[in-house]
Amino acid sequence: MKYFLFLNHPKGKDVYQLTKKREFLLREHFKHIKTLSMNLNINGQNYNCIIDYTAFSNLSNFDCFNCQDPCCADNPTIYNSNTRDFILDNLVLYNSLTKNIDILQENGYSFDDILNSIQNDNSMVPEKTVEEEISLCTCSFKPNNKSTLCALHSMCLEKKLSSEDIIRIKPLVCNLWPLEIIAEDDMSLLYITLPDDFTTGFTIEDYYDTPCINKELVSSATFRRKNPEGFSEKNYVPFIVAYKETLIKIFGNKFFNSIKNLLISEELIFESDFDDIKEQIFKKL
């Protein structure tokens, strides 16, 4: 089995291939839960999917502006032309956030070298600078000394682009994080879920170390020692609420409404949960 969202990771199978133990845990989990089956079009391809729909009621608080964990720790994908063209069209803004052009020039690269790298290199910077001189993800930036944010997303918001444009420009894995999609080796079936107490044994993300989807973690003294600000418990909302626009734009209205209606019918969420919520995709400093 494979982590579907990481199939284009620069490190290949070392990242996207599940171990046999994780595969076993996934299959056991999906045997014992309520699921929703649906055919989804993802990036122009149709897939049969089994959805762990109750996971979409899990509480989340994506307080990126107060988070000290560098979620953007590496380049999660080989970037496509949408991302590359957007950066090339907005080099000044891109460099003002990431400092990547300045860093590469300080290290002896010409401007033409840098443009060529954005156009052709897997991570849009010369390979030997990846996670070295260019630390973390190529597209990450630090607005202050504590948080790490996505330059692509911030640039889109600065330019007042639509949610469709944000989703087109950012890699799919980044748009959907921390949603997990695991595929059969032959791609005949996708399993969709979120990291939580029940799934963390096979998800690529560690639920117990991820405060934005683990409300219990943020109430611990250990977490608060490192993170005295942010992650207010009252700001946790169901994942389907926080990611409404993203889920609709990527998977469609049928996907969103089917899950929403099931969750409401089982009283796992309520219609009022969607009142007066600023969705994650539109949040900015």
pLDDT tens string for the chain (285 positions)?
999 999 999 999 999 999 999 999 999 999 999 999 999 999 999 999 999 999 999 999 998 888 877 777 788 999 999 999 999 999 999 999 999 999 999 999 999 999 999 999 999 999 999 888 888 899 999 888 878 899 999 999 999 999 999 999 999 999 999 999 999 999 999 999 999 999 999 999 999 889 999 999 999 999 899 888 888 989 999 999 999 999 999 999 999 999 999 999 999 999 999 998 877 888 776
Cα separation, 282 vs 269, whole angstroms: 22
